[in-house]
Amino acid sequence: MQVYISATLKSFFGRNSKLDIKADSVKGLLDLLIEEYPDSGKILFDENGDLRKFIRIYSGNEDITSSDRWNDRLPENAEILLLPAIAGGAPEESIIPEERRKETELDDVEIERFGKHLLLRDIGVKGQKRIKASKVAVIGVGALGSSVIQYLAAAGVGNIKAVDFDEVKLENLQSQVIHTSRDINRPKVASAKDKVKNINRNILFEAENLKLDAENITQVIEGYDLVIDCTDNYKARYLINDACELLGIPEVFGAIYQFEGQVAVFDHKGGPCYRCLYPEPPEPGLVPTCAEGGAISPLPGIIGSYQANEALKLILGIGEHLTGKVLSVDTLTLRSVILNIKKDHECPLCGDDPSIDTVEDFDYEELCGLKISDDEEPIEGFTPDELARRIDNGDQMLIVDVREPHERSLLRFPGAVVIPIGQLARRQNELDPDQDTIFVCKEGLRSILAIRTVREAGYKGPVYNLKGGIDAMKDIIFSHEGAWL
């Protein structure tokens, strides 16, 4: 059978995106994978030997994640997909109330502007009125949000609310095409507002320059017909999903990483929610984020276009959509597949006996097991300034860089020993237990996981984390290096 490995997992499988494995069941497949790629065991299974909850296993488009299916015989030519979190059928009617659509008018300029929509039998005048009458909240004005907002504005969505708390940075311009060089250091929502004005001045554009939390999200999205998740972190994804489900607002989800993307529709007409697909997020550092792993420039445009397309179909009440499905796109191999999502009847949010009835901020560290328990040795660390002083003083220590090769080629940490995080357990003999070892990564999360990994493997030497990672140390100069880090 052929096994397809998502980009976020490839480093644990010899950088392979596709493997040919001779196995006749999921159990046999997983056993052979771990035998051939020992480092994959940690990413696939937790310390209790259970499959991690942010991993899904598909045969074709059928979800066979449940261990009850692992001994079922699979066909010889089966295609298996290991799908981690990175993130049908036609609706019966538009999500826009008919009363609101009937109250909406199109003037002569709009009839000319949207002429190509009016020519489409599935849109026409009624459909364009629905688009104009719609109210859409877009959470995140980064890479995905750039494409989504511009296409919604161009399509004539009458009320767009954009929510983001960040400012435009130079590094954003590679993929966040709604912003330009003139927008650097401006709030992203302000930059987006200017762009939408240039597209269509008749649109009511609301710029919310704030960070969503449990206290404000209900007020921010209540009354909107649709929410589009264009965020880039797991905490926001669960927050948005929970609020949408509790308020009865459908959500169009999108996620990107390197060359791959996912699109789905959640919380719609009794369909599954994001928690049905991924009950828990991966612990910070275990799976790299888009910010850590990067993404090819056109990818957010592709996935964002899919999100905008799903949004318009829901508004119009036409076509097939991704409720109960996830579209997985690999632009590197030109492979895309639609996978079915089963509603989890034990889901704490949308299941038969839900336990979540209010939107609550969850403690990411506690949920993912990163909180220090009373019987666990705490993780100590150095600030960038403290580590720089130790380096300049010539202190005896070992710095271990656990980043991926492509990250190190972009920004090197002087004098560091390179040991990828998946190899730490079996290469711990390269560490000196008689001297301090400092683990470094991009943002200081994977290095925490690295410390836990070597401790679990039995290493007893002193280990420390670089707080904030190499990103926090970019502007520090080492006197003995004579160059910026």
pTM assigned to the model = 0.69
Between 150 and 478, residue with greater pLDDT? 150
Confidence of residue 100 (pLDDT cuts 50, 70, 90): very high
Contact 199, 245 (CB under 8 A): no
- Residue 211 pLDDT more than 50? yes
User: What three-state secondary structure class fits 212?
Assistant: coil
Q: What is the pLDDT of residues 315-359, one digit of tens each?
A: 999 988 899 999 999 999 898 999 889 899 999 999 989 898 888
- Residue 284 pLDDT more than 80? no
Domain ranges, ordered by start, for the chain: 2-84, 134-367, 381-484
Tokens of 68: 């009850």
The half-sphere exposure of 408 on its side-chain side, counting CA atoms within 13 A, is 16
Which one of the listed residues 273, 290, 350, 368 is annotated catalytic? Answer: 290
Spatial distance between the Cα atoms of 292 and 381, rounded to a whole number of angstroms? 21
Scan for tokens 């090197």, then name that residue: 412
Scan for tokens 């592709």, then name that residue: 302
Between 303 and 286, residue with greater pLDDT? 303
Q: In the prediction, which pLDDT does 485 show?
A: 52
User: What three-state secondary structure class fits 243?
Assistant: helix
Q: What is the pLDDT of residues 116-128, one digit of tens each?
A: 999 998 999 999 9
CATH code of the region 134-367:
3.40.50.720
- Name the CATH superfamily, with its identifier, for domain 2-84: Beta-grasp domain (3.10.20.30)
Would you call 350 a catalytic residue per the annotation? Answer: no
Q: In the prediction, which pLDDT does 235 show?
A: 84
Average pLDDT over residues 398-412: 79
Q: What is the pLDDT of residues 102-112, one digit of tens each?
A: 999 999 999 99
User: What three-state secondary structure class fits 433?
Assistant: coil
Which one of the listed residues 230, 276, 368, 441 is annotated catalytic? Answer: 441
Between 365 and 160, residue with greater pLDDT? 160
Q: In the prediction, which pLDDT does 88 show?
A: 33
- Residue 366 pLDDT more than 70? no
Contact 170, 217 (CB under 8 A): no
Please give the distance of CA 73 from its chain centroid, rounded to a whole number: 33
Architecture of domain 381-484: 3-Layer(aba) Sandwich (3.40)
- Residue 182 pLDDT more than 70? yes
Would you call 441 a catalytic residue per the annotation? Answer: yes
Task: Tell me the average pLDDT of the chain.
Answer: 86
The H-or-E segment that residue 398 falls in is strand 397-401
